[in-house]
Chain A
């Protein structure tokens, strides 16, 4: 049962930041898709709820060929899924969103809320890190922009401190020969992943690997960037053997925790399979690009 709380409804980002700074026992709610679950379970019982759902200032999707893609924090998953420009330039984001929970959740849940919640099983984190995204957050004392892989600190913990709101996600324009793929492993198509892997590959003009990223979902306290794989692939001509080797590294580097849905062994194994497959998929996309 949800305990009673005071409800704060700011009219602007400025007002929101001021209200947040003012109240100590205060949680931010936007879509509520993560927060309400823990509130119902009684795990979180704040005195104040700061509702930033109505902040139109933070609801936008802007793309500029030079600057890249900027998504405001209160943009819903569904808006990202249905965005033409994202579909065209970042199809992996749309594919990821299409399998993020249910349509009802995507209609209400927001990208900022998802990232702030910092669930290592969340879908956007790994994909956005593979896309080299950075995140902007701020409080009444000022703003800060950090690479997304540094933003996540631990289970459900980010660099943000009390008073900070997520403001924007920024993704650079993809290089000419770039590919990115994401897949989660689960029993039901659109539920939270048991484990997941995102991979991106940038190719040089001669077809060798300029850059690669592999980010594992639900394989540790935060989305897990496997730099060992990046080092392995950079400068090489990619092939199935390398993808298999990368998969092996992913299995070893992952820190998954067993629960009723899968053993640790199975999680490691599947992470290896997904890494291999996603790298290959990203590579093939980059070749075609």
Chain B
């Protein structure tokens, strides 16, 4: 597609809220201060599994400055979950009545006049527990003799998912070579810059206003209303600025719930902000997964069949785990054509911090296993890993049987570009290797587990007398820049400039409902709604333009850069501002208003569109210490039509740092259910000095379902990296890394084993 035809799309647009953020004027939930506001703190369970026998709050209540102490008994006791269509998956009481199931689970909350007093009061709450036997690993928890974590849930199996197409057994029979491997993928903390936070204000009118650090103001509204026994319309959720989400902030959290419960009892605003430690131990995490992968191929590298079984550590509650279970299995097949594919996923409850969605939604784990095994198969058979991926890769028009239709696909170009890049590097020095990995990702999910009757995305656009534009969207900016993306799409569609658009988001009272920021959905879904709303408004404007300019109706009119003109004779036209004024008069003073919405239809089971990519990681290993040095990351990426070049670079670099962290640094080790590194000294995230160069090669495709041809760009980029690093280590040292993260100790162990094996030969 030619980029030249666009005035705003695919240019370098700085985030429209960037100045407010760097000058400290952006009001995050953390910054909200209300008159008479109280500060809340949460008492958390020290036990991984225990019955709550009694909670005595007397001593805490006697502490001067304490206004209230609440426990599960002060709530409606509703078991909630974001899969609210499915009762059995709503399994979490934020303040539990009967028992606690992980260390860090809330048991009581306090509100006091200062944060210090609230914290001191926690020590004065006397909880009597009966400690129960606990289990921490899924492969243990699934055993018959394991303790029961949720009554009535046999063998602690929370959810299972089966995905299958083709005749798998027959396809395996056609294979010349079959390889089986077990993998272990770790958890990962979301590590948002802003910890979970909420300020709730319930007033005597019976209305609740809640400022929340959320990925979806609409979900928070619905979930809060559900657990508090209020009407959705009586709950207003505000999230003007959110300091990161990464998949961890669209469920109901204890900050939202406890602040709201206490505010409803006191008719006073209550603020709860998690400490960094609380965020680590009690805000859910990326799902740890055990993968068994069996793959059959022909001698020439043609993929025949794959059969995989996966056991995930669900932790104590469902969260978004059911979706992660499904998506991991689906993307485990990506981006290849299998004659037969079978996946069985088991999500198992354990007495640990619950796991949930996190950037990549189960796919980074799936790709770590799949893409490494493919390289090993290529080595086993003497095949070229680029050629094998090209041969079996998705192509435009392919249908993943019963699951998905691929309308646009730049995978082959991605592979070609990365192959060129890798070859340009020439022969590498000893102990250095480049690993590749390809994958794809969805552009929003076709899932409605929340059972929303609203469109998935909606937008309302209103044009002021001077031509400035008020754009109301429900999509949530969590730092990823969606407000900027929407402003670009609006400016392009209306034919105005980005600075003409004021985006209103993060307010359920003033913005239309939208499912929010998850599953890479907003650019495509909210983008389509914005485009539709702006087209609606523009059409109304152009009706007046036809009348005003008195031109032959066979001519096409358009607006670009605030100039209303005949498409064939661009010099003939009028100023956009003048047109708006005239239109306003002609409409009896009514402002021009456009409405748009989007809900995917007839797009399969998963997503309306898929991005594709191939990534290469260039890494060097110290053979004596096992230390990894990452030299460079290069990604060829098909996200359809890029909307904002700067936004895209930001997403790519952010994803690379997060995914490299997952690959070789970040881990959440536990001992008897207790997280051993709940702080930023012991939990390792990549910082600026370690961040390697992360380049991007944009592959031009056009996605018919996306606004201006756009697809997802950002979340999917977390998928290939761990596998690419694993493959780099494999090519540098000849060792196969089957466990994440790839640590120096694991590398040295693998090197020792390799030496021993060679010595035996």
Contact = CB atoms under 8 A, between A and B. Distances in A.
Contact of B669 (A1, A189, A260): A260
A275 B613 CA distance: 43
Given A189-B689, A262-B745, A270-B625, A1 B115 contact: yes
Nearest to A263: B745
B682 interface: yes
A50 B690 CA distance: 36
Chain A, interface size category, equals 10 to 19
Given A270-B625, A273-B625, A190 B687 contact: yes
Contacts of B664: 187
B748 A269 contact: yes
Nearest to B628: A187
Contacts of B676: 260
B282 to A, nearest CB: 18
A189 B627 CA distance: 11
B677 A188 contact: no
A188 B665 contact: yes
A189 B690 CA distance: 6
Interface residues of B, number: 23
A37 B277 CA distance: 13
B624 A273 contact: yes
A260 B682 contact: yes
Nearest to A273: B624
A184 to B, nearest CB: 11
Contacts of A273: 624-625
A48 interface: no
B148 to A, nearest CB: 30
Given A1-B116, A266-B748, A188 B690 contact: yes
A187 B690 CA distance: 9
A270 B624 CA distance: 8
B568 interface: no
Contacts of A261: 682
A1 B748 contact: no
A227 interface: no
Contact of A266 (B665, B667, B684, B744): B744
A102 interface: yes
Interface in A1-54: 1, 37
B119 interface: yes
Given A261-B682, A270-B625, A1 B744 contact: no
A192 interface: yes
Contact of A185 (B625, B689, B743): B625
Contacts of A37: 681
B83 to A, nearest CB: 34
A2 to B, nearest CB: 10
A191 interface: yes
B686 interface: yes
Nearest to B679: A41
Contacts of A263: 745
A243 to B, nearest CB: 13
Mostly, the A contact residues are: loop
A254 B406 CA distance: 59
Interface in B671-712: 676-677, 681-682, 684, 686-687, 689-690
Interface in B448-491: none
Contacts of A270: 625, 744
Mostly, the B contact residues are: loop
Contact of B684 (A102, A188, A269, A274): A188
A99 to B, nearest CB: 9
B364 to A, nearest CB: 19
Interface string A37-78: 100000000000000000000000000000000000000000
Contacts of A192: 681
Contacts of B665: 187-188
B535 to A, nearest CB: 49
Interface string A184-222: 010111111000000000000000000000000000000
A266 B669 CA distance: 18
Interface string A155-192: 00000000000000000000000000000010111111
A123 to B, nearest CB: 15
Contacts of B681: 37, 191-192
A191 B625 contact: no
B625 to A, nearest CB: 5
Given A260-B669, A273-B624, A273-B625, A188 B745 contact: no
Interface in B106-125: 115-116, 119
Interface in A239-289: 260-263, 266, 269-270, 273-274
Interface string B728-746: 0000000000000001110
A102 B667 CA distance: 22
A212 to B, nearest CB: 21
B487 to A, nearest CB: 34
B687 A188 contact: yes
A161 to B, nearest CB: 29
A77 to B, nearest CB: 15
Contacts of A102: 687
Among A37, A263, A266, residue most surrounded by chain B Cβ atoms (within 10 Å): A266
Interface string B112-147: 000110010000000000000000000000000000
Nearest to A247: B624
A191 B627 CA distance: 14
Given A260-B676, A270-B625, A188 B682 contact: no
Nearest to B668: A260
Nearest to A98: B689
Given A1-B119, A260-B676, A266-B745, A188 B627 contact: no
Nearest to A2: B116
Nearest to A194: B744
Nearest to A276: B624
B397 to A, nearest CB: 45
Nearest to A272: B624
Contacts of B686: 188
Interface string B596-635: 0000000000000000000000000000110100000000
A190 B689 contact: yes
A270 B627 CA distance: 10
Interface string B160-204: 000000000000000000000000000000000000000000000
Contacts of B690: 188-189
Interface string B382-417: 000000000000000000000000000000000000
Given A188-B684, A188-B687, 15 more contacts: A37-B681, A185-B744, A187-B665, A187-B684, A188-B665, A188-B686, A189-B689, A189-B690, A190-B687, A190-B689, A192-B681, A260-B676, A263-B745, A266-B745, A269-B625
26 contacts: A1-B115, A1-B116, A102-B687, A185-B625, A185-B627, A185-B744, A187-B627, A187-B664, A188-B665, A188-B684, A188-B686, A188-B687, A188-B689, A189-B689, A189-B690, A190-B689, A191-B684, A260-B676, A260-B677, A260-B682, A261-B682, A262-B744, A266-B744, A269-B748, A270-B625, A274-B625
Closest 7 interchain pairs by CB?
A273-B624, A260-B676, A266-B745, A189-B689, A260-B669, A270-B625, A189-B690
